[in-house]
């Protein structure tokens, strides 16, 4: 049987102009790629990096959602199903990659980062759809220490959205905006005044609770 397979392999090589050595190199390359993927899925170095319990829990949760990882110089890099870098852990802090307003999102050790902003940010690009429609789930809803809190309801209502804002604010989550609330195009549907977007209504709730915008942090903070 093995002889037959070898003959077929050599025959294919002759037909397509590949030498035996070229076929062997291709086979080795595929094997290396397979081993690299296996190494990501079976990362053993993590336990030796001294991650805090919350970050360790987030790491395990992200792996369970299908992410893979590797380590380079002590930094854990995490990749989605498209092999895109979506998060990394450095100095025991988990950071999520975001290319839109405010840039990357740092998750503090003992708190949750609540993500606010337009689903489709037409001004800076991206928006919450990056997380909601991503190939792997990177967030939870509600308390998620050292991770992200994003509202994503199949039966969405403004009342449920408002309650989520209030609970998030009262709990003391980091309130991180990934769309600029200082830009009226994110606040009003016509970009000037009148009917508000969902983001605009969320900002109004935060204002009523005594929060104010801190542009340097890209967060709403309590007065």
Q: What is the pLDDT of residues 124-158, one digit of tens each?
A: 999 999 999 999 999 999 999 999 999 999 999 99
* pLDDT above 90: percentage of residues in the chain: 74
pLDDT tens figures, 77-128: 999 999 999 999 998 899 999 999 999 999 999 999 999 999 999 999 999 9
Say if residues 117 and 177 touch (Cβ distance below 8 Å).
yes
Q: Which residues, 6+ apart, have CB-to-CB distance to 160 below 8 Å?
A: 151, 153
Asked whether residue 7 is assigned to any structural domain, the reply reads: no
Regarding whether 223 and 114 lie in a shared domain, the answer is: yes
Same domain, 137 and 196: yes
Q: Which of 71, 97, 123 is at the close of a domain?
A: 97
For residue 56, the enclosing domain spans 18-97
Helix (H) or strand (E) holding 116: strand 113-116
Say what the pTM is.
Answer: 0.80
Q: Is residue 102 part of a domain?
A: no
The verdict on residue 9 lying in a domain is no
Question: Which pLDDT tens digit goes with each residue over 53-76?
Answer: 999 999 999 999 999 999 988 899
One domain, residues 119 and 63: no
DSSP character at residue 88: E
Domain count, the chain: 2
The whole-angstrom separation of Cα 44 and Cα 37 is: 14
- Asked if residue 125 and residue 91 are part of one domain, the reply reads no
Per-residue buried b or exposed e for 107-119, using 16+ beta carbons within 10 Å of the residue's own CB:
beeebbbbbbbbe
Greatest Cα pair distance, the chain, in angstroms, is: 78
Give the residue among 120, 115, 202 at the shortest CA–CA distance from 160. 202
Scanning 65-213, the segments in alpha helix (DSSP H) are 129-132, 158-171, 184-187, 198-208
Looking at residue 2, its pLDDT comes to 41
Same domain, 91 and 195: no
In a domain, 12, yes or no: no
Together in a domain, 159 and 199: yes
């Amino acid at each position: 049987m093995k002889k037959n397979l070898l003959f077929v392999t050599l025959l294919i090589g002759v037909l397509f102009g590949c030498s035996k050595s070229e076929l062997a190199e291709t086979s080795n390359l595929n094997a290396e790629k397979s081993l690299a993927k296996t190494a990501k899925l079976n990362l053993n170095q993590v336990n030796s990096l001294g991650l805090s319990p919350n970050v360790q829990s987030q790491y395990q949760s992200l792996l369970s959602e299908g992410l893979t990882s590797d380590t380079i110089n002590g930094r854990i890099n995490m990749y989605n199903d498209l092999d895109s870098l979506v998060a990394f852990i450095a100095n025991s802090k988990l950071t999520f990659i975001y290319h839109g307003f405010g840039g990357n999102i740092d998750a503090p050790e003992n708190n949750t980062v609540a993500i606010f902003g337009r689903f489709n940010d037409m001004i800076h690009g991206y928006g919450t759809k990056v997380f909601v429609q991503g190939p792997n789930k990177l967030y939870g809803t509600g308390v998620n220490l050292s991770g992200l809190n994003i509202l994503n309801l199949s039966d969405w209502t403004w009342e449920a959205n408002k309650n989520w804002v209030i609970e998030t604010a009262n709990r003391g989550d980091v309130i991180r905006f990934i769309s600029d609330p200082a830009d009226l195009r994110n606040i009003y549907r016509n970009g000037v005044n009148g009917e508000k977007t969902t983001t605009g209504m969320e900002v109004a709730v935060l204002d009523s609770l005594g929060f104010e915008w801190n542009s340097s942090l890209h967060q709403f903070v309590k007065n």
